[in-house]
Amino acid sequence: MSDLLYNNQHIYLFVALFLLFCGIAGVVYRRTLIGMLVSMELIMNGAGLNLVALNRFVSPENGYGIAFTLIIMGIAAAEAAIALGIIMLIFKKYKHIESGELKEMKD
Amino acid sequence: MNVGEIIFLITVVVTLGGAAMAVLSGSIVYAMMGLVTTMFGIAGLYIYLESPFLSMMQILIYVGAVSVLIAFAVMLIGPLYRKPKEWTTIGKFAAALGVALVSLFMFVRFVMETFPRAVTPSFKITTKEIGRLLLNDLVLPFELISLLLVVAILGAIMLALFSRGNK
């Protein structure tokens, strides 16, 4: 039972670690603000997967990891709404969303 | 290797490929599609972690709400092809890879040192128990998340009003 491939917790943890890797690389590498936001969502997905995997394999008697993953989903939704509002505002003011050319946010 | 393991491997490959596509693709629309692919893959991994409620919530919130929000922003924000491919310099790519590799090597050791315990096949956290947990032990984070959502909605409305007033 325990030698099945999907009962190996290291696979889940390495998938979450690869998501963190891709997210950090994307935040540095991406040119536009929406690309950076997409990378932030990757990081949050990795955090949720990490919590659920550790809840499943380390302490399976309670469900704290699942509850906190639900809370992470709510935080990600709120963050996406606020960030996209700010991005729309920046686009209306500067007509571009290039992150390298934004020198100031106050006019 | 039975059918479940093959489907699990396909799910893992879809997740990793979606994440790589979300970072490396040149177009922002393809990056969003990669993000959606990753979210579906993680929903599949949640099913393998025996929490199907969380998988449905993942599809409902991330794929249904956050991705549609990003798609609306991509559609509303004007032409993104004005400066094509200028940003793919070798130096920036190397810097991003360096920063990400530092974080990767910081956590690889942590992952390798978490030894697996004996797998308990009876991991049955039902929706009822999650609800009881959210309203008994975790009632303060639960209320704080509702407060955060209200503040986020009000903030988004205020941003929209400011942008109208500047015109």
C-alpha angle with apex B141: B73 to B68, nearest 5 degrees?
15
Sequence ranges of the domains in chain B: 1-78, 124-167
Inter-chain touch A24–B99, beta carbons under 8 Å: yes
Inter-chain touch A70–B57, beta carbons under 8 Å: yes
Confidence of residue B109 (pLDDT cuts 50, 70, 90): confident
Cβ-contact B70, A34 below 8 angstroms: yes
* Residue among A92, A61, A96 at smallest CA distance from B82: A96
Q: Which of A58-62, B21-25, B33-37, B98-102 comes out lowest in average pLDDT?
A: A58-62
**Residues on chain A touching B154 (C-beta within 8 angstroms):** none
Confidence of residue B85 (pLDDT cuts 50, 70, 90): low
**A93: distance to nearest CA of chain B, Å?**
8
Q: Which residues contact B48 (CB under 8 A, 6 or more apart)?
A: A6, B8, B11
**A2: distance to nearest CA of chain B, Å?**
6
Q: Which residues of A34-59 are buried (b: 16+ CB within 10 A; e: fewer)?
A: bbbbbbbbbbbbbbbbbbbbbbbbee
Inter-chain touch A82–B156, beta carbons under 8 Å: yes
* Residue among A40, A28, A27, A26 at smallest CA distance from B24: A26
**Burial of B122 from C-beta contacts in 10 A (0-12 / 13-18 / 19+):** exposed
Sequence ranges of the domains in chain A: 5-101
Structure confidence by residue, pLDDT tens digits, A2-48:
577 788 888 899 999 999 999 999 998 888 888 899 999 999 999 99
DSSP for residue A5: G
* Residue among A106, A105, A35, A47 at smallest CA distance from A76: A47
- The residue in chain A having the minimum alpha-carbon distance to the alpha carbon of residue B76 is A88
**Residues on chain A touching B16 (C-beta within 8 angstroms):** 15, 18
Inter-chain touch B48–A6, beta carbons under 8 Å: yes
Q: How far apart are CA A101 and CA B74, in angstroms?
A: 19
Task: Specify which residues B6 forms β-bridges with.
Answer: none
Cβ-contact A35, B35 below 8 angstroms: no
Nearest to B49 among A39, A53, A80 (CB): A53
ipTM of the complex: 0.89
**Residues on chain A touching B112 (C-beta within 8 angstroms):** 10
Structure confidence by residue, pLDDT tens digits, A40-85:
999 999 999 999 998 888 888 888 999 999 999 999 999 999 999 8
Inter-chain touch B130–A66, beta carbons under 8 Å: yes
Query: In CATH, what class is B1-78?
Result: mainly alpha
Say which CATH topology domain A5-101 has. Answer: Helix Hairpins (1.10.287)
Site from B66, B75, B167 to mutate, A interface, most A CB atoms within 10 angstroms: B66
Q: How far apart are CA A93 and CA A28, in angstroms?
A: 24
Inter-chain touch B117–A74, beta carbons under 8 Å: no
Phi, psi of A20 (to 5 degrees): -65, -40
